[in-house]
């Protein structure tokens, strides 16, 4: 099941609030579940952003930024699940949470303006 935007943003805030450097690690199962959810939602956002990006002019600053985000998404969303320690899983969840934020910023900035407001 893929999360919706509101649920995902709530989880992103939670995950980014983890104090991993202070030794406050969540349960491994919790981190791995969030890695899976963020990966699934991130892939949806990646597809949306790629479609929006194709509609932008090739020399657009928005397109350049979106392509950089898509490159990072292509690298991080297709990594194998983190193995080993709870710290590794928690760091992956935080990394994906930051990627979700970037993908959402990208889709928000490249979305076509609502023509009804003109």
- The pLDDT of 74-78, averaged and rounded, is 95
CA-to-CA distance for 36 and 11, rounded, in angstroms? 12
Does residue 24 lie in a domain region? no
In a domain, 38, yes or no: yes
pLDDT, tens digit, 9 for 90 and up, residues 48-72: 999 999 998 888 888 888 999 999 9
| C-alpha to C-alpha distance for 72 and 49, rounded to whole angstroms | 12
CA–CA dist 70, 73 (Å, integer): 5
pLDDT tops 60 at residue 84: yes
Higher per-residue confidence, 6 vs 20: 6
25 lies in a domain? Answer: no
pLDDT at 114 over 60: no
What pLDDT, on a 0 to 100 scale, did the predictor assign at position 113? 61
State residue 118's pLDDT score: 39
Parent domain of 93: 5-14+34-110
* 118 is a domain residue: no
Whether residue 117 has pLDDT greater than 50: no
* 117 lies in some domain: no
Q: Which helix (H) or strand (E) holds 51?
A: helix 28-54
Domain count, the chain: 1
Report whether 30 contacts 20 (CB < 8 A). Answer: no
Checking if the pLDDT of 34 tops 60, the result is yes
CA–CA separation, 48 and 71 (whole Å): 14
The end-to-end CA distance of the chain, in Å, is: 37
Kindly report, residue by residue over 35-50, the tens digit of the pLDDT.
999 999 999 999 999 9
**Is residue 21 one of the residues assigned to a domain?**
no
Is 104 a domain residue?
yes
Whether residue 40 lies inside any domain: the answer is yes
């Amino acid at each position: 099941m893929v999360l919706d935007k509101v649920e995902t943003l709530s989880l992103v805030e939670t995950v980014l609030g983890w104090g991993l450097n202070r030794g406050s690690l969540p349960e491994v199962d919790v981190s791995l579940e969030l890695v899976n959810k963020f990966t699934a939602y991130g892939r949806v956002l990646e597809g949306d952003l790629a479609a929006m990006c194709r509609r932008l002019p090739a020399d657009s600053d928005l397109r350049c930024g979106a392509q950089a985000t898509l490159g990072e998404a292509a690298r991080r969303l297709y990594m194998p699940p983190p193995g080993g320690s709870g710290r590794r899983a928690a760091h992956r969840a935080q990394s994906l949470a930051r990627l979700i934020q970037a993908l959402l910023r990208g889709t928000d900035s490249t979305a076509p303006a609502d023509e009804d407001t003109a």
